[in-house]
Amino acid sequence: MSILCGLPLLECVYCLACARWAWKRCLHTAGHDSETWGLATAEEFEPVPRLCRYILAVYEDDLRKPLWEPPGGYGINPDWLVVKRTYEDTQGQAPPYILYLDHVHADLVLAIRGLNLGKESDYAVLLDNKLGKRKFDSGYVHNGLLKAAVWVWDAECEVLKELLEKYPNYTLTFTGHSLGSGVAALLTMVVVQNLDKLGNISRKRVRCYAIAPARCMSLNLAVRYGDVINSVVLQDDFLPRTATPLEDIFKSLFCLPCLLCLRCMRDTCVPEEKMLKDPRRLYAPGRLYHIVERKPFRMGRFPPVVRTAVPVDGRFEHIVLSCNATSDHAIIWIEREAQRALDLMLEKDGSMEIPAKQRMERQETLAREHTQEYKAALQRAVTLAVPHAYSPSQYGTFDEQEGGEHSDRAIEEYS
206 vs 3, higher pLDDT: 206
Instruction: Report d(CA 80, CA 102) in Å as an integer.
Output: 7
Can you give the pLDDT at residue 266? 56
Can you give the pLDDT at residue 244? 55
Can you give the pLDDT at residue 169? 96
Q: Domain coordinates of the chain in residue numbers?
A: 29-384
Estimate the crossing angle of helix 179-192 against helix 404-414, to 10 degrees.
Answer: 120
297 vs 83, higher pLDDT: 83
Can you give the pLDDT at residue 256? 54
Can you give the pLDDT at residue 318? 72
Q: Where are the alpha helices (DSSP H) in 304-391?
A: 331-352, 356-383
Contacts 24+ apart (CB under 8 A), 118-122: 119/87, 119/92, 120/92, 121/87, 121/92, 121/93, 122/95, 122/179
210 vs 26, higher pLDDT: 210
E strands, 217-336, are 217-218, 229-234, 282-283, 287-292, 305-309
Q: How many CB atoms lie within 10 A of CB 274?
A: 9
29-384: CATH superfamily: Alpha/Beta hydrolase fold, catalytic domain (3.40.50.1820)
366 vs 352, higher pLDDT: 366
pLDDT in tens, 367-376: 888 999 999 9
Contacts of 182 (CB under 8 A, 6+ apart): 142, 145, 176, 210, 213, 214, 216, 246
Instruction: Report d(CA 146, CA 192) in Å as an integer.
Output: 14
pLDDT in tens, 127-143: 888 888 899 999 999 99
109 vs 405, higher pLDDT: 109
For residue 287, what pLDDT band results from cuts at 50, 70 and 90? very high
Instruction: Report d(CA 112, CA 149) in Å as an integer.
Output: 10
pLDDT in tens, 145-163: 999 999 999 999 999 999 9
Q: What percent of the chain has pLDDT over 70?
A: 75
Can you give the pLDDT at residue 255? 55
For residue 388, what pLDDT band results from cuts at 50, 70 and 90? confident
For residue 245, what pLDDT band results from cuts at 50, 70 and 90? low
Residue 2 has pLDDT above 50, yes or no: no
Can you give the pLDDT at residue 395? 46
Q: Which helix (H) or strand (E) holds 248?
A: helix 246-251
| Contact call for residues 289 and 175 (beta carbons, < 8 A) | no
Q: Which helix (H) or strand (E) holds 81?
A: strand 81-85
